[in-house]
Chains A and B, each alone.
Chain A
Amino acid sequence: MEAALADLAGPAPADFAARVLQRVGIPRNRYDMYLHLEAPAGGLYVAYGPQAVTGAALGKTVPGPEAFEEAHLARTGRSAIRTTRPLPGLRTALRTGRAKGLRIDLPELTEAERAVLDAVRTIPRGQLRPLAWVAREAAVSGTAAVTEALEVNPVPLLIPCHRVTFDESGPCDLRYGPIVGAVLRGAEGIDDALVGLSRMGTVFLGSDTTRIYCHPTCAHARRITPPHQVPFRSARAAREAGYRACKSCRPIAA
């Protein structure tokens, strides 16, 4: 009987708390709202303020909504209230994997961390970039600053840190481990063979018709037909062979 009674304490309607706050008249900028959206790796909890996204967590990495609320409060000091209506553009960004235009506001991070994460956001969907590339784009010295920022990335998936690889080896999933990372890359159709290429020592791929070299996952590199693919171990080797760098994926000139 007692167990059956305890079972009656179902959750309140999803937006009850949000409606209470609206009715009481608490200004919207005093709290964040959040909801759980469809995404690979267990969906994504996304919290947002009045204008911009302020935090997120993959469903696989947090035990439940309460855990997400607690973590968000501990990190930002703002309460996350459950809602049912996402920030405009959020659903589209998740569906298409193009989150570059989405506003993300992370005031609790340092200047360098923000610069690195902004650079990571420019990596296109379905492509990979090494740590050194991110360091150059963010104008920070050394890859240590990059890995630090990737470890704290408070908005996984929308800031696509699963598209970053180590300089000469496999993917660099510092935030949530290789299994979740593989799921996220799989959902974007990133070819494991291309990830494998860099493992085998090939860092760049050139085309002997255009004499241009790219990162192997760059959209232009993927158009090179196998007979015309020329692998390079370094940018220097490519330059010495008379190739120039791709202007769209901007491989490192080191």
Chain B
Amino acid sequence: MDETAEPLCERLATDLDDGFTELVRVHASAVHAFLLRVTGFAAEADDLGQETFLRAYTALQGYSAKRRRALRPRAWLMTIAANVWRNHVRTCVRRPVAAARVEDSCESWPAEGPGPQERAETAADRALLVAALARLPEPARVAVVLRHVVGMSYAEVAEVQGCPVGTVKAQVSRGIATLRQLLEPEVALLREVTM
């Protein structure tokens, strides 16, 4: 569990608005990263992220102080995010719309991130990985993203997915193996081209 959970839950229990602000500050980027890697679209991740927090706030309003104090915020938020995303996918299947593919959102501090040259060097590898991730089956993708992109423990991922820890471990391991398979031929091809 993350070490920030304790004071955060205390704040949530004493003052909802205060605690919720803190919740957003601490967990917004993790939720956004999860949704971005699961959907593959920056704009979609943005919308679904807002939807996630809106739902979280509405739910928190109905919770008692005791329940808020016992909350494990990150796993709880990811559960909501995963549900929001599943609902969204279902809606999209029923009412399909064309969307332009956005590969990566790199808006951050102006000085911090890697410069254009570094970006160009790593962009090719990243793009391959992002594409491979999008081709994974749904449960495996969620498990792999939660475990390795967001960096949650297997126990937390199991809580989000609502299944035993063993299942999650299998999903993650199979997901990684599939990713390797998907990447292998392309990397080999790249080597041939560059040689």
Contacts and interface: CB of A to CB of B under 8 A. Distances in A.
B106 to A, nearest CB: 7
Residue of B25, B36, B57, B109 most packed against chain A (CB within 10 A) = B25
User: For the side of the interface on B, what is the size category?
Assistant: 35 or more
Contacts of B30: 9
Given A9-B149, A36-B109, A19 B50 contact: yes
A8 B129 CA distance: 9
A5 B152 CA distance: 13
A73 B30 CA distance: 20
A5 B148 CA distance: 6
Contacts of A107: none
B138 interface: no
Interface residues of A, number: 32
Contacts of B104: 10
B69 interface: no
Contact of A26 (B17, B106, B126, B130): B17
Contact of A16 (B49, B111, B129, B148): B49
Contacts of B165: none
Interface in B1-45: 17-18, 20-22, 24-25, 28-30, 32-33, 36-37, 42
Contacts of B150: 9
A30 interface: yes
Contacts of B107: 13-14
The 6 residue pairs across chains A and B that have the minimum distance between CB atoms: A12-B32, A5-B148, A17-B28, A12-B29, A31-B21, A9-B33
Interface of A: 1-2, 4-14, 16-17, 19-21, 23-24, 26-27, 30-31, 36, 43, 65, 69, 73, 79-81
Given A2-B148, A81-B21, A81-B25, 15 more contacts: A1-B179, A2-B176, A9-B37, A11-B108, A13-B32, A13-B107, A16-B32, A20-B28, A20-B49, A23-B50, A24-B54, A24-B57, A30-B17, A79-B21, A81-B24
